[in-house]
Amino acid sequence: MRFNGISGFAAPNTRFPTSRFLQQYPPDVINPAIAVLPGTFGWSHKTLKAFCDRFADRPHLVEVHISNGPGRRNKMYKGDFAREFSVSEFNRALVSNSPRIVRRINQRCKRVKRWLARCTNEQTKIVICPELEDNLLNEAWTNLAKQISKTLPYRMVRNPVSGGKGGFYTEEHGKTALARTRRMLANLDGCSIDFKDGEVYKATSIGVKAATNWYKSQRLGFARFLWSANQQGLNGAGWGAAGAPPPKERDFVVTDEAMVGMRKILEGY
């Protein structure tokens, strides 16, 4: 079963445009999917519950990220998981299974479990990505995943920046991502789709035709996600969210052009 969707990392924010975001999914979309990053953007149930309710008549996927890897490399904010740990400190704490980090993991996962319970239904399939775009040692990632699975017993997704091993699924990001097997996910994350709607994204973008081709190339994978900088509140930002406000303070925008363009890409799968 392949899942087809859009990155809604910012969906847990109270100001996220739920209705406009969901209008991007065609009514007859098969196996819809959403990727979310609770905590970093907030803990609102509104968008995820609306997504699960809308597609309660068919299988749908929710990919939940526990920790924010890009934030850990650049700048962490209130709401980010274990934000006081640098990449090296996080690795050391996880490798040693320090009581402090184990306690933090358990606390975070219990909150995620409660959050999901208010949103999901019997048609919801959940996968967990311990850290978005991680810089973790294999042993550190394995220990993190093991602790998470005690509270959230779902299949784990490894999304390493480069070469890390582990997880039932592996995920690649960006315009060069390629889901080559049923145990892989692909997310256009970091490469925005240019809908000619006035968005200014200083990192990487591709046109709708190229995004459609990228999307079609992921047909062998378990899940594929489109990505818009505007919808993550990154209009005007550069690599690593440079120049963007803190995640919870951003303006999240789904333009009319994006609603039409995303729907066309999803319809042409």
DSSP 130-185: EEETB---HHHHHHHHHHHHHHS-SEEEE-BSSS---SSEEEEESTT----STTEE
Write down the pLDDT at residue 121: 98
Answer yes or no: is pLDDT of 26 > 80: yes
Q: How far apart are CA 252 and CA 245, in angstroms?
A: 11
Give the CA dihedral 228, 24, 22, 51, nearest 10 degrees: -90
Write down the pLDDT at residue 140: 98
| Maximum distance among all Cα pairs of the chain, rounded to whole angstroms | 50
- Domain ranges for the chain, please list them: 3-267
pLDDT confidence band for 238 (50 / 70 / 90)? confident
**Phi/psi at 93 (5° precision):** -65, -40
pLDDT confidence band for 84 (50 / 70 / 90)? very high
DSSP 225-237: EE--TGGGT-TT-
Answer yes or no: is pLDDT of 129 > 90: yes
For the stretch 199-221, pLDDT in tens is: 999 889 999 999 999 999 999 99
| Residues of the chain above pLDDT 90, percent | 93
Burial group, residue 260, by CB count within 10 angstroms (0-12, 13-18, 19+): middle
For the stretch 45-79, pLDDT in tens is: 999 999 999 999 999 999 999 999 999 999 899 99
CATH class of the structural domain 3-267? alpha beta
Residue ranges of alpha helices (H) inside the chain are 18-22, 46-54, 69-73, 87-95, 99-117, 138-151, 208-216, 256-267
Answer yes or no: is pLDDT of 126 > 90: yes
Range in 49-58, 135-144, 160-169 with the lowest mean pLDDT: 160-169
What are residue 126's DSSP bridge partners? 62
Q: What is the mean pLDDT of residues 100-118?
A: 98
